[in-house]
Amino acid sequence: MRQVFITRTGGPEVLKLREAPDLPPTKGAVRIRVKAAGVNFADILARKGLYADAPKLPAVVGYEVSGVVDAIGPEASQEWLGREVVAPTRFGGYADTVVAPVEQVFAKPASLTHAQAATIPVNYLTAWQLMVVMGALVKDETVLIHNAGGGVGLAAIDIGRRRGARLIGTASAGKHDFLKSRGLDAAIDYTQTDWLPEVMRLTNGRGVELILDPLGGGHWRKSCKALRPTGRLGMFGVSSATASRLPWPLNLASVAVGTPWFHPFSLMDANRGVFGVNLGHLWDERDKVRAWVDGLLAGATEGWVRPHVDRVFPLEAAGEAHAYIESRRNKGKVVLEP
């Protein structure tokens, strides 16, 4: 099989295709012949040496695949053999084959292509945890979705619509028409406009009930100012660290400097909540996550989960896929196909 390795930290050129023997499935696991692998922002952070959870380099990243089960490990049910599946993977997705424990493997809805199915595990689970599980979003609340044009942003639009919420998003201007066609109620070009006064204008000075913020540092401090009483801030990334040229963990220092401290009394008096989400630290909560995935895959069959594939790159062009995302041209998900 072929795998795409991050050979060392650096630009997209450090991604190299290498031949390797097919992996035998381990106990309780199956081997999946990959038809589509999702590319995530975390993969780019890993390549740049900015991702604390990344495996030691050289390594094969890739947090999600869709494909066909082609081998069964000891103690895993033979029923999986030949089935079309989708699976979150703890790395290794940028490959022709990957091994995953059966508890992490799900039947692919027949209505989805493999590329569409590969958009679901990371983006939709993250948005679900942010909005439904921890954000407790209810009908008629207003949500501010930062980076609305990314994969998590598009998933958040689907889930927010499903909950009957009003959706405001920040994104560069070229993505606005598309995002509105997906159901975003108001789009703010944060590259040209200060988004905070605009959010306050759109909410008649009240602010919003839920904010999804993957930027980090001082951006979280600013987001807090847009929360109305009962508002919740969901923090789930430090994209702003990519602006720094310093290596991990020094690059986070600039982000840390601006990071707000949340005093319990201040939160209590302001009727506000703050919480963090890191999907990559939920591998030991399989039952919980399984129920979320089941609900989202059912949503795809019902039609309210609408996976959008912006662009498909061949596996060997993983570097081009990274460069494409880094140039901010993607509207939602980018997928690799072996």
Interacting residues toward ligand NAP by CB under 6 A? 40-42, 122-123, 126, 147, 149-153, 171-172, 175, 214, 236-237, 239, 242, 277-280, 325-326, 328, 330
> String of b and e for 37-71 (b: at least 16 CB within 10 Å)?
bbbbbbbbbbbbbbbeebeebebbbbbbbbbbbeb
At closest approach, how far in Å is the CB of 93 from ligand NAP?
14
| Cα dihedral sign, 184-188-189-190 | negative
* Residues 6+ positions from 87 with CB-CB distance below 8 Å: 32, 64, 65, 66, 98, 100, 104, 105, 106, 121
**147 pairs with which residues across the strands?**
none
How far, in Å, CA of 314 to CA of 140, rounded?
A: 42
Write out the two tokens for 48: 């740049």
At closest approach, how far in Å is the CB of 318 from ligand NAP?
14
Q: Which residue is nearest to ligand NAP (CB)?
A: 150
User: 1 vs 282, which CB is nearer to ligand NAP?
Assistant: 282
Q: Tokens 């069964």 map to which residue? A: 72
Closest to 125 (Cα-Cα) out of 176, 96, 159, 150: 159
At closest approach, how far in Å is the CB of 130 from ligand NAP?
9
SS (H, E, C) 64-125: EEEEEEEEECCCCCHHHCCCEEEEECCCCCCECEEEEEHHHCEECCCCCCHHHHCCHHHHHH
User: 25 vs 332, which CB is nearer to ligand NAP?
Assistant: 332
At closest approach, how far in Å is the CB of 187 from ligand NAP?
9
At closest approach, how far in Å is the CB of 195 from ligand NAP?
11
User: 26 vs 172, which CB is nearer to ligand NAP?
Assistant: 172
User: 214 vs 217, which CB is nearer to ligand NAP?
Assistant: 214
At closest approach, how far in Å is the CB of 175 from ligand NAP?
6
Half-sphere exposure of 337 (CA within 13 A, CB side): 11
At closest approach, how far in Å is the CB of 73 from ligand NAP?
27
User: 147 vs 203, which CB is nearer to ligand NAP?
Assistant: 147
User: 30 vs 279, which CB is nearer to ligand NAP?
Assistant: 279
User: 32 vs 171, which CB is nearer to ligand NAP?
Assistant: 171
